Amino acid sequence: MKKMLIMCGAGHATSTVVRAKVEDWLKAQGLSNKVTIKQSAVGDEIDNIKNDRYDIVISTTVVPDNIKSKIINGVALLTGIGSDKVYDEVKKEIEE
């Protein structure tokens, strides 16, 4: 079971929208049983991300440089432009 974090600035607004979209996509792909999802604020999760507590991290906000390499930019899931690329990255991480 992979652990996914979906985060935004405060852990409420945009992360809620993205979480709903990701959950719908996971269900449509038959992957819901392979992932647990946590939703939070970026400021609350920096140490957890540094310590690899999540397998997949999607963010809709700016993240510190020292964790950027571990983050999937989820803004495309809000706009709809380029969302397929985000889902491809997520699927790749789930299947690893």
The residue ranges of every structural domain in the chain are 2-95
Q: What is the pTM of this model?
A: 0.94
Rounded mean pLDDT of 45-73? 95
Q: Which fold has domain 2-95?
A: Rossmann fold (3.40.50)
**Bridge partners, residue 40, by sequence:** 7
Confidence of residue 96 (pLDDT cuts 50, 70, 90): confident
* Distance, CA of 12 to CA of 90 (rounded, Å): 21
Rounded mean pLDDT of 75-90? 96
| Number of Cβ within a 10 Å radius of residue 26 | 20
Tell me the pLDDT of the chain averaged across its residues.
96
- Asked if residue 76 has pLDDT above 90, the reply is yes
Calculate what percentage of the chain has a pLDDT beyond 70: 100
